[in-house]
Amino acid sequence: MAPVRVGVSLKMYFGHQEAAAWFDRVAALARGHAAVASGAVELFVIPTYLQILPARDAFAGTPVRIGAQDVAAADTGPYTGEVSAAELAEVGASLAEIGHAERRRLYGETDAVTAAKAAAALRHGVTPLVCVGETERLDPAGAAAATVAQLRRSLADAPAGPVIAAYEPVWAIGAAEPAPTGHIAAVARALRVALDVAPDRAGSAVIYGGSAGPGLLTALGDAVDGLFLGRFAHDPANLETVLDEAAELATARAAA
């Protein structure tokens, strides 16, 4: 049975020493959390590029996966400031966050750019965490159609392999509350169907991000495969609350 996934992006909030202290606390939490240790819950952490190596070392001996907040579309060459998927894989990063709304808004990244980065990640065995979501609030059916179309564009011509689709409606990022559960469920189910019918995407998952917090995973149940957390998880105690929810959901799925 697939695990319930819980991810955390640190964005650029932590300095190097602050991140190292957070890694140590979360690594201790992961080692002592039965569902994480057993694999029923998969925890992944996405720090800055400079923090990937200390994160890898801090989480050594745990099943916690380490990711990067971006990846180059090219494999090698004269691309100043870029980091390749090959190098990420070499140092132990197994995920790459691609196409986040901030990258699209601040740096003009398009679905075509996202697709090129997803292809690069998959070529080197790195799982693309593809962020998708409508910019303006739509009804659930409209949001589902728009987001599925965006996901397809963001994976156009990408090699076979599993992906994680992170549904993050742009209008809900940083908001006081997440999107309504019925809205999330409708879009997430449509994304899951789109991935399930793609013969080259076996093992893929759909998670929700966008002001996600305690209680949401329980409310969503089987509609999603997990949550993608932001600043809420900067407090490890808050992260532990969500991991406990994920463990309860994993237990319920196993018993079903």
Torsion sign (Cα): 9, 14, 16, 21: negative
Q: Which of 183, 184, 182, 206 is nearest to 193 (CA)?
A: 206
Q: What letter does residue 62 receive in the DSSP assignment?
A: S
Q: Give the whole-angstrom CA distance, residue 10 versus residue 45.
A: 8
Q: What is the DSSP string of 115-147?
A: HHHHHHHHHTTPEEEEEE--SS---HHHHHHHH
Torsion sign (Cα): 111, 112, 116, 119: positive
Strand partners, 128: 96
Q: Which of 92, 127, 104 is nearest to 205 (CA)?
A: 127
Task: List, by residue number, the catalytic residues.
Answer: 100, 168
178: enclosing H helix or E strand:
none
